[in-house]
Amino acid sequence: MAGDRIQRQRHQNLADLVDRALPFVAAGTPRRLVQVYNGGNMPSEPDHFYLTNPAYLNGTEAEGGVGSPSVDMSQTIVVDVLGKPPSAGDYLTAYAVGGRWVAELTTTQTGKGCIQFLGCNGSPLSGITVIIYDRSGGNLLAGPMTSDANGKVCPNLSSGNFWVDPTGSYRFPLDKYVWIAQTFGIPNNGVGFWPVTLQPGWACCPTVSFPLPTTLYLTVCSQTFTMIASVINAKIQGWAPEGAEPATITTDHVADVTNCNLGGWDGMSTSIQAVPFWIQLFCPSGPSSLPGTVGVCGIGHYNGRIGAFDEFAICPAECTGFGNAYTCCSGAAGPGPSVDFTLTGTIGETVSLSGSMPASMPDGCVFPPAAPWPLPCPGSAITVTN
């Protein structure tokens, strides 16, 4: 039958055409998995040649199995990277194109790790300028970048150790921290906390988010005291006169007594003497208020006929410590009770505060309760500066 013969011939001709075409089908483009490394002159722009090592994937071929790259560092493959510049350590798929190995980086093959800058009491440090290099004196990888409101810089780099430079020209409070470029590890996810330290002469109070000077100058009764901070576990506990606890303050109208006994005082005769003086400053409760306490040693005359104290005075320096029924001190050369005062003004990079000396000490130091005795220069100005 002629029709069947024609159909068989056409089918055979088509089969022969396919058989003749198969040997000429192009083979798949050769490709390799490679890892980028820095050979000392690594570029930072796309469409440049990068040095790579061939990489192979090991691991258990099962669902959930982890691939384990193995890099052959004995071989170097030069790859022209298009799209985006890679970072040292990145894995790329390189294709043989036109006699060259070529890779195209179209998405960011990096982690989401951040650097976080935290200052006093964990307060975020916003505005830190950061530049990141692959190593000291090496290639720029990221930056300049600026820490955000949370104190974070997230450079979109794969995890690893980098040369991070946070130095810059800063204002208070950032200028009171030490900024030095150093090798720093950035995680693949989460944050790495920058090791923040303070400039000499500055420390943190647990009550405010900015650093404060460790040395202040307090003036009262026309005398100036250098107040040095007590710092425990990197936290300021307060400021007290330098060197001596207590200090001494030159005071008028101090009772002239013998053996610290007001029974020998005529109630009128006084002199100018140095008296034990305790004054402390505490951490501020806000940006404009600083509390303090002040005290001296007091002396009272107990009148047995009336069963009470009938004379009160500021105690001269020799009348300190326990063992004398007429004195009110805490022991050694320490004053007894104290009275609170408050200074107001500016607290920050500049400290400028003022207040007034209280009029008298509280009562209740000795039994029966003693009436208040005066403090030096009651009502006079107290100023504190740095």
Percent of the chain with pLDDT over 90: 36
Please answer whether residues 41 and 63 qualify as being in contact, where contact means their C-beta atoms are separated by less than 8 angstroms: no
Q: What is the CATH number of domain 114-193?
A: 2.60.40.10
Pick from 163-172, 278-287, 320-329: least confident: 320-329
pLDDT at 314: 73
**pLDDT of 13 over the 50 cut:** yes
pLDDT at 25: 47
β pairing state of 191-193 and 114-116? parallel
- The residue written with tokens 């000077």 in the block is 213
Please answer whether residues 326 and 371 qualify as being in contact, where contact means their C-beta atoms are separated by less than 8 angstroms: no
Give me the chain's average pLDDT, please: 81
**pLDDT of 324 over the 50 cut:** no
Three-state SS string across the chain, please? Answer: CHHHHHHHHHHHHHHHHHHHHHHHCCCCCCEEEEEEECCCCCCCCCCEEEEEEEEEEECCCCCCCCCEEEECCCCCEEEEEEECCCCCCCEEEEEEECCEEEEEECCCCCCCCEEECECHHHCECCCCEEEEECCCCCCEEEEEEECCCCCEECCCCCCEEEEEECCCCCCCCHHHECCCCEEEEECCCCEEECCCCECCCEEECCCCCCEEECEEEEEECCEEEEEEEEEECCEEEEEEECCCCCEEEEEEEEECCECCEHHHCCCCCEEEEEEEEEEEECCCCCCCEEEEEEEECEEEEEECCCCEEEEEEECCCCCCCCCCCCEEEEECCEECCCEEEEEEEECCCCCEEEEECCCECCCCCCCCCCCCCECCCCCCEEEEEC
pLDDT at 333: 47
pLDDT tens profile 183-200: 999 888 888 999 989 999
Please indicate whether residue 67 or residue 115 has the higher confidence score (pLDDT): 115
**pLDDT of 318 over the 60 cut:** yes
Q: How far apart are CA 207 and CA 198, in angstroms?
A: 17
| Residue 23 binned pLDDT confidence (cut-offs 50, 70, 90) | low
pLDDT at 259: 67
| Residue 17 binned pLDDT confidence (cut-offs 50, 70, 90) | low
pLDDT tens profile 325-341: 455 655 444 566 678 89
pLDDT at 130: 94
pLDDT tens profile 132-176: 999 888 899 888 989 999 999 999 888 889 999 999 999 999 999
**pLDDT of 131 over the 80 cut:** yes
**pLDDT of 71 over the 80 cut:** yes
**pLDDT of 256 over the 90 cut:** no
Segment 359-367 shows an average pLDDT of 62
Q: How far apart are CA 286 and CA 203, in angstroms?
A: 16
pLDDT tens profile 201-254: 999 999 999 999 999 999 998 999 999 999 988 899 999 898 766 788 888 777
The CATH class of 30-61+68-105 is: mainly beta
Strand order in the sheet with 114-116: 152-153, 114-116, 191-193
89 Cβ contact list (under 8 Å, min separation 6): 35, 36, 37, 158, 160
**pLDDT of 303 over the 80 cut:** no
Long-range CB contacts (within 8 A, 24+) of 40-43:
42/88, 42/134, 42/138, 42/139, 43/85, 43/139
- The residue written with tokens 């020799």 in the block is 318
| Segments making up each domain of the chain, as ranges | 30-61+68-105, 114-193, 203-385
Q: Of the candidates 274, 286, 290, 310, which has an alpha carbon nearest to the alpha carbon of residue 354?
A: 290
